[in-house]
Amino acid sequence: MTTLSPQTQTSIEFAADLIRQSKHAVILTGAGISTPSGIPDFRSSGTGLWSRDEPLEVASLSTFRTKPNLFFDWFRPLARQLFEAKPNSAHHALAELERRGYIKSIITQNIDALHQKSGSKTVIEMHGTMQTLTCTQCYHKAEAGPYIASFVECGEIPRCPKCGGVLKPDVILFGEQLPQAAWFMAQKEARNCDLMLVAGSSLEVLPVAGLPMQALDRGAHLIIINNNPTYLNVRADVSILDDVATVLPAITERVLNG
């Protein structure tokens, strides 16, 4: 059992009070909410994916179009981790808050679908999803499960069952635009919310990192839970520098049971 400091306990109580009082609370999640599930983040020093690989060389749209083998060779270990990951206590805590009506939506930068697997219903995926694949030739869309399983086990590049073209995971690579519908929905939620809770995001990747500022500019409260400070911690009503998998369940318990 993790022991939280008195300061963190006080912050948890304040955060729970803000959630209970809100009418339209929105969550913004980043890679830090999924690291307890065994999925590496991208930017942590020494452990993040971009501390070992150059993103434009392995995870750009141009690389995928010209050297798909290079992309898939890099992607295979990550695909295994994504394929095998299970939701953790932070995902389940947010799903319970949504089920009880305390939060209206989750905006996520993650592609792992762990929010949906934990039971969350209204999830806006800003960087796409690993759950589907699209053919680069005929644009046929397929469920990823069977293809990813064989890719993870055998390294077999997924091919379209209709035309034989390469199937691209429906994730946003460097050089691709964000999905327009998701971006418009996320902006609407940021502008309409009276509370935004940021969980496990360093708020370093634009344009998503600007969403909390849109909320603040319209008078919303802001809660930030992350292992490291963000550029907006000084503006937050509550800032907790701790593990989301410990803090979010504690906040949820406080919201539901006082």
User: Six-digit token pair at 187?
Assistant: 């902006």
pLDDT confidence of residue 48: 45
CA-CA distance, 214 to 117, in Å (whole number)? 29
* Amino acid at position 172, single letter: I
Q: 10 Å Cβ neighbour count for 118?
A: 20
pLDDT confidence of residue 39: 92
pLDDT greater than 80 at residue 44: no
pLDDT confidence of residue 189: 98
Do 254 and 16 form a contact (C-beta atoms < 8 A)?
yes
- The closest of 103, 223, 197, 82 to 145, measured between CA atoms, is 82
Do 28 and 197 form a contact (C-beta atoms < 8 A)?
yes
For the chain, give every domain's residue range: 1-39+87-127+177-258, 41-84+129-171
Instruction: Give yes or no on whether 1-39+87-127+177-258 and 41-84+129-171 have one common fold.
Output: no
H or E element at residue 56: helix 55-58
Q: What is the mean pLDDT of residues 86-106?
A: 98
Most confident of 69-78, 147-156, 234-243: 234-243
As a whole-number percent, the residues of the chain with pLDDT over 70 amount to 93
What is the reported pTM?
A: 0.91
Length of the chain (residues): 258
pLDDT band at 180 (very low <50, low <70, confident <90, very high): very high
pLDDT confidence of residue 97: 98
Active-site residue, selected from the candidate residues 91, 92, 115, 127: 127
CA-CA distance, 196 to 190, in Å (whole number)? 7
Do 28 and 198 form a contact (C-beta atoms < 8 A)?
yes
pLDDT greater than 80 at residue 41: no
pLDDT band at 50 (very low <50, low <70, confident <90, very high): very low
pLDDT confidence of residue 47: 46
Three-class DSSP category at 238: strand
CA-CA distance, 244 to 210, in Å (whole number)? 21
Is 91 a catalytic site residue? Answer: no
pLDDT confidence of residue 102: 98
pLDDT band at 111 (very low <50, low <70, confident <90, very high): very high
pLDDT greater than 80 at residue 118: yes
CATH class of 1-39+87-127+177-258: alpha beta
DSSP state of 38: T
- The yes or no reply on domain 41-84+129-171 and CATH 3.20.20.140 is no
